[in-house]
Amino acid sequence: MALTQKLEFRQSQALVMTPQLMQAIKLLQLSNLDLSAYVEGELERNPLLERAGESEPGDANPQPAEGEPMPAAEASAADWVGEDLATSRTAIEDQLGTRLDNVFPEDSGEAPARPGGDLPAGYSEWARVGGGGREDADYNLEAFVSAETTLADHLAEQLTLAVADPARRMIGQYLIDLVDEAGYLAGELASVAERLGAPPAEIETVLAILQNFDPPGVCARNLTECVALQLRERDRFDPAMQALVAHLDLVAKRDLAALRRICGVDEEDLSEMIAEIRRLNPKPGLAFGSTLVQPIVPDVFVRAGADGGWTVELNSDTLPKVLVNQTYYAEVAGGARNDSEKAYLADCLQTASWLIRALDQRARTILKVATEIVRQQDGFFVRGVQHLRPLNLKTVADAIGMHESTVSRVTANKYMATTRGIFELKYFFTSAIAAADGGEAHSAEAVRHRIKHLIDAERPDDVLSDDTIVERLRAAGIDIARRTVAKYRDAMRIPSSVQRRRDKQVSTGAAP
């Protein structure tokens, strides 16, 4: 076989993941704190970037009016962006499953109108606040290892493991936010139930779950309950100890005679009981140190509108305001002494322009997704947590013309302030149960609520089996399997029908 040389033309596609495109995708999933830190880093690295309001009037050149020629430096940056998107769009979409129109719709000719009117070029109407989107090489591993876990983080981790359904997680997270640094729950459960639109019994149930978390005694509403929780955890909450805990004021007064009479114990037993109480921790939350807990800053506000609907708007205090100082660029570009300096300035201009566009589009995308979530979950905002509709990423993505992966990134680490409290965007997504009559599907949480309501209303002589619950739900138009009913019942820590029948017979004094 002879060896020969020849020239061939081949056309192929390759993934070209430029740093700018990686940046745009990464910015979508950053929280407002992480975004602020990322922008702070860019402000330090890029001399052409500055915060809005830092420069003197007239320092930063505005965008030319429509029809006027764009400055050469700005035009080259725009051409570079367009060329880069054109050459890598298809390959990146195939690899990431993300339409790049979602990141920069302006490039597809579908740019939404800028809220608030036209703004100067290089300016982003999306504000400031802070924490940690850096390049991978900048991560300090020791900073993560040495970081203290806050009480709220510790409880939230346990909540994720202990509670499966989204409505109860909403309630649990809301209660965790009310826990002070000592570990006590501040606030009335009645006001929580009213604000969330949930039954008071449901709030009590979720609180009981939280009170079983570590550290023992956490989420108590007062000192008596805190002590009782710790004694129960030690299996020492017998009738005599219950009587003692109920009269802690007499322990403080050292009225031992009255305590012996109330508890029905002798002096030695009373002394041991008091000593055991004194060994407990009256402030269990302080075991997590004095780490400052950063309050949640919402990314989106939802307010009732004058027309009876809902108004959704971005929190301008959490969106970085940065601009490109074109005047400074013109000055230093004119004094560049060699190609290396010119290349550095061109790179800074391109990076700054891309960052501002990415920030602008990130804010628009968050607003788009949040608006659609509010539209889909209108029942929750009007009537409460039991009216959550089934919702998934695909439903929202299809409604707003974006890819599921984009919606997933947007809902990560983003919070919405509503009339019912502050919730993470991902909590509004819940699975669906099909309707028996082929109608609109039912939210899994709404089905759980129905199951619990049926069981709570059952009589001692008519305890509902899982099969009976299935029949009643299907009669109500909910197509559900028996094993699903059993799974939901177990998740809500409701015993089987056999155990419930025994418990009701014992409580009523009937013969088993």
pLDDT for 436: 53
40-54, 141-155, 380-394: range with lowest mean pLDDT: 141-155
**What band does 340 get if pLDDT is binned at 50, 70 and 90?**
confident
Average pLDDT, the chain: 76
pLDDT tens digits for range 431-475: 655 555 555 556 676 788 788 888 888 888 888 898 899 888 888
**Amino acid letter, 508:** T
Residue with token string 């993470």 = 424
Q: Is 273 helix (H, G, I), strand (E, B) or coil?
A: helix
Q: Which residue has the higher pLDDT, 103 or 51?
A: 51
Question: In percent, how much of the chain has pLDDT > 70?
Answer: 74
Name which of 100-104, 203-207, 382-386, 498-502 the model is least confident about: 100-104
Find the range with the poorest average confidence among 1-5, 352-356, 507-511: 507-511
- At 262-285, the pLDDT tens digits run 999 888 888 989 989 989 999 898
pLDDT at 364 over 60: yes
Phi (first) and psi of residue 492, to 5 degrees: -90, 5
Contact by Cβ (8 Å): 24, 353:
no
Q: What confidence category does residue 319 fall into, taking pLDDT thresholds of 50, 70 and 90?
A: confident
pLDDT in tens, 7-28: 888 888 776 666 767 777 788 8
Q: How confident is the model at residue 211 (pLDDT cuts 50, 70, 90)?
A: very high
Kindly report, residue by residue over 406-424, the tens digit of the pLDDT. 888 888 888 999 888 888 8
100, pLDDT greater than 60: no
Quote the CA–CA distance of 387 and 442 in Å, as a whole number: 9
- Going by pLDDT thresholds of 50, 70 and 90, the confidence category of residue 103 is very low
Mean pLDDT of 493-510: 76
> What pLDDT is stored for residue 433 in this prediction?
54
Instruction: State pTM to two decimals.
Output: 0.52
Domain limits of the chain? Answer: 19-63+71-108+121-142+323-357, 151-288, 433-508
**Of 58-62, 264-268, 351-355, 427-431, which range is least confident?**
58-62
Q: For the chain, report the end-to-end CA distance as a whole number of angstroms.
A: 94
Is residue 373's pLDDT more than 80?
A: yes
- pLDDT score for 301: 93
Cβ atoms of 219 and 183 closer than 8 Å: yes
* CATH class label, 433-508: mainly alpha
**Closest CA relative to residue 373, chosen from 344, 331, 410:** 410
Contacts (Cβ under 8 Å, ≥6 apart) of 28: 103, 362, 365, 406, 409, 410
DSSP 8-state symbol, 321: -
What pLDDT, on the 0 to 100 scale, is given for residue 236? 86
